[in-house]
Structure 1
């Protein structure tokens, strides 16, 4: 069967090969036609495996997900692969518990499309898939955001991989120009089903003729849906295809021929029932039409507006909308040309070359090149141990270190701040060349007292430990380097501890600029954001001063808060002064006419990148911070940072983003928006953070530290 998944497989193989991979395509069914497979066999570096023909699978029955997992294990055992691209939730779920876990690049298409469909079982299965996947390939930004919010394990692993449009050899796009002097040719290819409005389409030529527009409708396909809710649909649909006025039914055709028929027409139809407006998937046929120079009538959705522009002339919700749009372009060549240009321009981002470029970027991140500096330390891979009770600030660095071909990583995870398996920790000392202690706590004290001669010990210090007793007890003579995340905290650390200056170095926090760089939602320039409001030194009260002043002149300004609430931290909520602080704040929000309705509390979670799409300014109003990642993450997302001058802020962020008072911050935000400077300021901020704190650059700095 040549269906959407078969077309996807062909495009994926071609894109991987063009990106520089040696690709093995494992077929799930016997080859009955060579239309898709034969061109792949001819590509250099591509191997096509047919389990049925090779005796790896008994072809007397269909291949189940369990069968496919067994076949893939067998193929991989012959010659282990670096990555395994798999499409479909059932197969990915089977593979998540097997030997391919950790190497999966999973392309999910059968994800529940709404929160109501996302039951506990679906979440659990998708969490297992996310945990076992190196990357999750998402077709659209909408799918990525929805998946990250429903399955926290998907955050940081979800990347965009939209449909790939590959034109058959020899197929030329539609000639430019409007259809002057002949009937307007409409085209639909695909299945015939109620929610695809295919029956309603068959009335368009007759209704357009009433408006003085001569039109004919070309329908390509032979799959007529049997709808239990409408048993008469199939008969009604077939009758309309066979005898509808102005309808030309071509029947079923191979993909190449269907695309040739499309290229011979003027306007494609992808107008669907409103129930489908919330779909998280993008129609490949819309993109194919654009590549062919054929504009498309389709529903107005946020996804389609971002693709084609809010003023695209062929958006339609009702039959009257469709008729209005087709009448307009049938009588106005300029509008027709505009629609063609928009569709062709949008489709340019979905070419095979564009897909290969995306894959090259993901491959470079997943498989970094070995460092001669690292290999010079040992003739074998450098052995690195990581010891910590909490790796939440180290996860992406750990992923990076594990992906390096010149390093071998083991983790000593302490069950609590002071609790660990001493034998496992001692085994790490006996094995490692370098030990990293994430947090300067009991773990650092234990390893400093026991490290081997010649073994390097690196400790990363956070604000939390600097004011505790552990640094004073640390045997600094046994520590090779203490990592601080900002110059200010580097100075403070040396001042408080008296440690030698040469042992205290600055390596900043990382910002995953590629994950955070996502298109903003409409209205973002009026949305302020805060990430984390506990404890009280985060100073939510000062952020309320800012939004209150802004809303006096423009009620569109809204503060979005993404944070655990203070009573979710027992160590905060047990303090009377902390409880009093937040009780006053919540009372103030409820009673203030300006703040009521202007402050939104969003749930805490790892879906920060998706949440930031709605945020235009990220606030940092704290009394003190060691680095404060939130403004930097906001900058990477295309938001403008706004900070109060906490100590050391100017050593991390450009002074243009730092304001002396909440009032000055509010005035700057209002002026940035009213003067139309928000987008330019956001782009400057994005460039600054990419140049200073990108994950790639910070990982390279860590590589230099470890390779000494």
Structure 2
């Protein structure tokens, strides 16, 4: 199309930017390329050049020898046929009466996507008179982005996109029938074709298209948006920092504080003078310092977790200078508004985020007998409760194992100096070492391998006395592990009641019953966490907030 317009308009084309056809963003998980139902699908209008009648006639021939093949048809728009005034009547009759054809009529886009996912191959075969067309079918792109091969005409455009070796090109009824037979009976060819179209078509989503055009859209700006992240502990903000740094629209600088109220004054001042947006991670001395120095033309955002309630730095904030305060859960928001007196006008709620794609790895076998707990310090994390659950299960079935991930308390001098903390852990470790099941309590150490560690975990435990959010259950769900949360205040504002238990007895009983009933798919925990906490969604919320405040 670009080359055509260059020729027609007689211009060099240096300022052209290709805006490709676009399809909605798809699930971030790669589909399984398998033949399930021996099912074809056609979605769209009925017209002469769309081979509507030819598709039905060819399929009627196929089912004479392939009795289990099925054709799903979605759509109710009929174009006038220039030579056949009875076109609509004849095609409708065939849709209603032909064997193994399921015509669902006009349905919503969401329903169409479900039908595509339930099918095996999409139909994009058209009349050869359209072979020189420069139109790229968004229907075909949706089939491919959902992991379904497509039967297409062999055209220069299609060959440029999918390659000349793509196996399912058809320019005649004979080739069309051959493509259907091959696609639904030869698994190797099917998988190869599915992978080819998936790789191409996923590049046409809204998100991928925006990545390509955003530099072009924003190049007219005098400068990119400059964001400073300031705080003593940025681990929970790292995903967002990386996302902003990877976008051409933003420049990122870090103001790393040495403690709650300890900073390099000179560096912080340079960051302040440079920034368009200042993001204070944790509402501590960093938020106090910036809120008393920020300019009116700058945007100041503070994200608060839970410990700020005790440190009381919020009493020194200049709220007139803070554009927004992010709370990481509805409970935390209400806690700061109702008990700390923070103005509700300033507060928004945006959940913590999980990189769902990172954790979506294949599970090992028999993970339903593996319990996991991450981060056992300080004592309020209640490792003893996790052991209680493990022992109750072990009494019933010897296959259960408890995996412990994270640093030991001796790694933290400040913690080990506290007599109550030290006494607690000494008692817990004595209990483990004297247990007849001590070999089934495994310390996996600390490391940045949480994604692969979760491959062996079937149940992720959250046994704390209290938490501000507790990311471990969400990360576990992204891996397919079922969360077991012993109720702590506010947990129900983050996680559904299906995952929350009143005590260890209730939790252990649930695990036993669930495993005995062999219902590992009773709740799609991966889908649940993607919908609520996936980084792509939450990062979008952050960008929207910044755009609204500037």
**TM-score of the pair, normalised by structure 2:** 0.62
Structure 1 residue 476 corresponds to structure 2 residue 319: yes
User: Cα–Cα, structure 1 residues 667 and 476, in superposed 2: closer, same or farther, change >3 Å?
Assistant: same
Alignment of 1:300-311 (within 5 A): none
| C-alpha distance in structure 2 between counterparts of 1:366 and 1:390, whole Å | 32
Match of 1:272 in 2: none
SS in 2 for 1:679: coil
**1:701 pairs with 2:545:** no
1:61-100 equivalence runs, <5 A: none
Displacement of 1:367 in angstroms is 3.7
- Which residue of structure 2 lines up, in the alignment, with residue 561 of structure 1? 404
Higher relative contact order (CA 8 A, sep 6+): 2
Mark the CA change 1:415 to 1:361 in structure 2 (over 3 Å): closer, same or farther.
farther
Correspondence 1:649 to 2:488:
no
> Could you report, residue by residue, the CA deviation over 1:46-88 in whole angstroms, capped at 9, with x for unpaired residues?
xxxxxxxxxxxxxxxxxxxxxxxxxxxxxxxxxxxxxxxxxxx
Distance 1:508 1:471 in 2: 20
Residue in 1 aligned with 2:527?
687
Question: Per the alignment, do residues 635 and 171 of structure 1 end up closer, same or farther by CA in structure 2, a change over 3 Å counting?
Answer: closer
SS in structure 1 of the partner of residue 361 of structure 2: coil
1:622/1:369 Cα in 2 relative to 1: closer, same or farther (>3 Å)?
farther
How far residue 471 of structure 1 moved from its aligned partner, in angstroms, is: 1.8
SS in 2 for 1:393: helix
CA-to-partner distance for each residue in 1:244-273, whole Å, 9 max, x for gaps?
Answer: xxxxxxxxxxxxxxxxxxxxxxxxxxxxxx
Question: CA separation in 1, counterparts of 2:412 and 2:457?
Answer: 26
Number of the residue aligned with 1:435 = 278
Change (3 A) 1:362 1:527: farther
Matching of residues 568-583 of structure 1 within 5 Å: 568-583=411-426
Distance 1:634 1:552 in 2: 25
Instruction: Report the Cα offset of residue 382 of structure 1.
Output: 2.1
Partner of 2:389: 546
Q: Which residue of 2 aligns with 1:630?
A: 472
Contact 2:166 2:196 (C-alpha < 8 Å) held by counterparts: no
CA distance in 2, matches of 1:474, 1:587: 46
SS in 2 for 1:686: helix
Q: Is the 8 A contact 1:369 1:404 kept in 2?
A: no
1:529–1:617: 8 Å Cα contact kept in structure 2?
A: yes
Per-residue deviation, 1:352: 3.0
Find the partner of 2:301 among 443, 458, 461: 458
SS in 1 for 2:229: strand
The CA distance in 2 between the partners of 1:556 and 1:522, in whole Å, is 12
- 1:231-242 counterparts in 2 under 5 A? none
Deviation at 1:603, TM superposition (A): 1.3
Q: What is the alpha-carbon distance in structure 1 between the residues aligned to residue 193 and residue 515 of structure 2?
A: 30
Deviation at 1:360, TM superposition (A): 7.3
Change (3 A) 1:567 1:498: same
Partner of 1:678: 520
Distance 1:665 1:556, change over 3 A: same
- The alpha-carbon deviation at position 432 of structure 1 amounts to 1.6
Match of 1:530 among 335, 348, 373: 373
The Cα shift of 1:349 comes to 8.5
Distance 1:572 1:685, change over 3 A: same
Distance across 2 between alignment mates of 1:369 and 1:395: 25
Provide closer, same or farther for how the CA distance between residues 548 and 592 of structure 1 changes in structure 2, counting only shifts above 3 A: same
SS in 1 for 2:292: helix
Query: Would you say the 8 A contact 1:543–1:621 is kept in 2?
Result: yes
Please tell me whether the aligned partners of residues 372 and 460 of structure 2 are also in contact (alpha carbons under 8 angstroms).
yes
> C-alpha distance in 2, partners of 1:559/1:494?
39
Superposition deviation, residue 383 in structure 1: 2.2
2:439 counterpart SS class:
coil
Rounded to whole Å, the distance in 2 between the matches of 1:379 and 1:582 is 57
Tell me the distance in 1 between the aligned counterparts of 2:447 and 2:209.
24
Q: Deviations over 1:409-446 (max 9, x none)?
A: 22222344433332222222222221111111221111
Superposed, 1:512-523 pairs within 5 Å as 512-523=355-366
Judged with a 3 Å threshold, the aligned counterparts in structure 2 of structure 1 residues 528 and 579 are, in CA distance, closer, same or farther, namely same
Cα pair distance change 1:514/1:171, threshold 3 Å: closer
* Residue correspondence of structure 1 range 50-69 to structure 2 within 5 A: none
Q: 1:575 to 1:362 in 2, by over 3 A?
A: farther
- Determine if contact 1:547/1:558 at 8 Å carries over to the other structure: yes
8 A Cα contact 1:368 1:404, kept in partner: no
1:463 is paired with a residue of what secondary structure? coil
Cα deviation digits, residues 678-706 of structure 1 (max 9, x gap): 2333xx21111111111011001101111
- CA change 1:171–1:346 in 2 (3 A) is closer
Aligned to 2:454: 612
> Could you say which residue in structure 1 is the equivalent of 2:348?
505
Instruction: Give the Cα separation in 2 of the matches to 1:627 and 1:435.
Output: 23
Instruction: Say whether the 8 Å CA contact 1:366–1:403 is kept in structure 2.
Output: no
Change (3 A) 1:520 1:641: same
Report the CA distance between 1:392 and its aligned residue: 0.9
Secondary structure of the corresponding residue to residue 467 of structure 1: helix
The answer to whether the 8 A contact 1:528-1:618 is kept is yes
1:378 CA drift (Å) = 7.3
1:401 is matched with which residue: 244, 257, 261?
A: 244
Distance 1:469 1:701, change over 3 A: same
Question: How far does the alpha carbon of each residue in 1:451-490 deviate from its partner, in whole angstroms, 9 at most, with x for none?
Answer: 1123221111122222113222222222111111001011
Deviation at 1:171, TM superposition (A): 8.2
Match of 2:267 among 424, 432, 437: 424
Q: Say whether the 8 Å CA contact 1:528–1:617 is kept in structure 2.
A: yes
Partners in 2 of 1:365 and 1:399 — Cα distance? Answer: 20
Tell me the secondary structure at the aligned position of residue 450 of structure 1: coil
What is the aligned length? 371
Tell me how far 1:379 sits from its aligned partner.
Answer: 6.2
Instruction: Quote how far apart the aligned CAs of 1:572 are.
Output: 1.2
Query: Does the 8 Å CA contact 1:457/1:478 hold for their aligned counterparts?
Result: yes
Deviation at 1:365, TM superposition (A): 11
Gaps of 5+ in 2: 1-161, 168-183
CA-atom RMSD, angstroms? Answer: 3.1
SS of structure 1 residue aligned to 2:521:
helix
- Provide the rounded CA distance (Å) in 1 between the counterparts of 2:186 and 2:518: 25
What CA distance in whole angstroms lies between the structure 2 residues aligned with 1:566 and 1:461?
Answer: 26
